[in-house]
Chains A and B, each alone.
Chain A
């Protein structure tokens, strides 16, 4: 198991953002994390990524407990993430942005050592033409790809993708899904939060459904979309369920 989420609860004041969330994730899998807005998906990412500590429970990443350790340790141990609202380092070039990922990631390359990895990663996400441009000058789709490049350059074992498809057009979504599959082929385990149902159902091996901080579903895409609890609480609409299974 690369990731074990054990009975994790998180409160914000009186609000219970996560309630006893519990699942294990084996290596090499793509896990889709879905749920309505405010279900606690990004909070769960922040807890897994060691940005917040859980109020109860623990997160074991490759057998190591992350709770109480500094945020940057997650990256050093081989976990990388993208942000739902992109966070480019605006005044640095695309190359420097990706360099940060490579230099402070799992391996912790020096600037020279990182050079070829950084260039390959930029080519991989298709930002070669913007290599020397400032991150601030990129459009939304490019900024999403920059997030992915930064995360990949850290050479993670576990990649957390927070709505990388949001705001992309159909063609861009297809390209991004290809990239995600390719990353998995390299042996990286992926957890992705996604609202584009068809896409996440198509690419995931397994789906976890959150609603009001509770895990209400866990299984293959087909199982989850047939689960009456999921349909009732989350989808509420049999047509949408059909769409999820479509294609």
Chain B
């Protein structure tokens, strides 16, 4: 806490920004698409980590915030004609508000009960949206392609979205780092280790958990708006894929829950693996089974994930690998 130049943070930002700059230099659109997917994964995993890693709450339905925020933002863009930046903020606020209300109701639950509740919420939200005509019901909504003109044409809009997602991911990583180094973060970790003891020591656990949940939900909401803006349409099936929730958990666990670098590396590693599996003849239909086995192996053999393992093996690296 005495260090002032935060090597751990710079390392992560160097990885994220360094990777994101490559397509700008080469001008390759296909590489840009690949890295867009990677950045999205990094952003989702890092925001889930605030809840899963710092606070110790396993959310099996975290993708609900991506979908819900995406829907709200998409509605603001396409129906209300808001600017993208405002729609992104609106999506984040909507997801944060949803998490606030849900948190008041279900954060009292512990362990498996909380996880089950989050599963139910994702399914409930999908059913709700399917029956909501304002949001296009089962067919979803489409963007009028004219809208891309406001952002310098479709080609330019894709680049704009790309830089916007990079900005968001950098924000998630920085906030994740700051939370970990703050009194708020210390309270969260105390709750993770022993909620009753933390409460006796003066941590207002209900409050701390609610804000952690809100923070961890707001970013997926914003990312969702960008993703569906780029996509041009939004449907319930794409917005609430339960599988993604589970993949987010795999990413966080693979890299190392509760560390800042872990979810970043975990997301990159898992997405690369997934890309490889999906294009391989043998594995293309069973890539989720591989994810399941991977999660099992992590939980059994390296529960602290790759970064946790490095930290426990190489004490001298602790200042850099956080």
Q: Which residues of A contact B (CB under 8 A)?
A: 49, 51, 70-72, 74-76, 80-81, 83, 87-92, 96, 99-101, 103-105, 108, 110-112, 115, 150, 154
Can you report 12 A-B residue pairs in the complex whose CB atoms are below 8 A from each other? A51-B196, A83-B197, A87-B196, A88-B193, A91-B189, A91-B193, A92-B189, A100-B190, A101-B201, A104-B201, A111-B1, A111-B182
Q: For the complex, what is the distance from the CA of A101 to the CA of B192, rounded to whole Å? A: 15
Given known A90-B193, A96-B186, contact A71–B200 (CB-CB < 8 A): yes
List residues 1-17 of chain B with CB under 8 A from any CB of chain A.
1
From the candidates A51, A72, A99, name the one contacting B202 in the complex (CB within 8 A).
Answer: A72
A31 to chain B, nearest CB (A): 19
Does any Cβ of A come within 8 Å of B203's Cβ?
Answer: yes
* Number of residues on chain B facing chain A (CB within 8 A): 23
Q: Chain B residues near A154 (CB, 8 Å)?
A: 201-202
List residues 199-231 of chain B with CB under 8 A from any CB of chain A.
199-206
Cβ A89 vs Cβ B193 within 8 A:
yes
Cβ B200 vs Cβ A75 within 8 A:
yes
A46 to chain B, nearest CB (A): 9
Q: Supply 10 further A-B pairs (C-beta < 8 A) apart from A72-B203, A103-B186, A111-B182.
A: A71-B200, A74-B200, A89-B193, A90-B193, A91-B193, A92-B189, A100-B187, A104-B187, A112-B1, A154-B201
Q: For the complex, what is the distance from the CA of A104 to the CA of B187, rounded to whole Å? A: 8
Q: For the complex, what is the distance from the CA of A76 to the CA of B187, rounded to whole Å? A: 14
Chain B residue with the shortest CB-CB distance to A76: B202
Given known A89-B197, A111-B183, A112-B1, contact A96–B189 (CB-CB < 8 A): yes
Cβ A110 vs Cβ B193 within 8 A:
no
Q: What mask results when residues 44 to 56 of chain B are scored 1 for a CB within 8 Å of chain A, else 0? A: 0000000000000
Q: For the complex, what is the distance from the CA of A108 to the CA of B206, rounded to whole Å? A: 18
Cβ B1 vs Cβ A75 within 8 A:
no
Q: For the complex, what is the distance from the CA of A75 to the CA of B201, rounded to whole Å? A: 6
Does any Cβ of A come within 8 Å of B150's Cβ?
Answer: no
Q: Chain A residues near B258 (CB, 8 Å)?
A: 91
Does any Cβ of A come within 8 Å of B281's Cβ?
Answer: no
Cβ A111 vs Cβ B186 within 8 A:
yes
Q: For the complex, what is the distance from the CA of A154 to the CA of B205, rounded to whole Å? A: 17
Cβ A92 vs Cβ B200 within 8 A:
no
Cβ A104 vs Cβ B193 within 8 A:
no
Does any Cβ of A come within 8 Å of B277's Cβ?
Answer: no
Cβ A103 vs Cβ B183 within 8 A:
yes
Q: Chain B residues near A72 (CB, 8 Å)?
A: 199-205
Q: Chain A residues near B203 (CB, 8 Å)?
A: 72, 100, 104
Q: Chain B residues near A92 (CB, 8 Å)?
A: 189-190, 193
Q: What mask results when residues 169 to 207 of chain B are scored 1 for a CB within 8 Å of chain A, else 0? A: 000000000000111001101101110111111111110
Cβ B186 vs Cβ A100 within 8 A:
yes
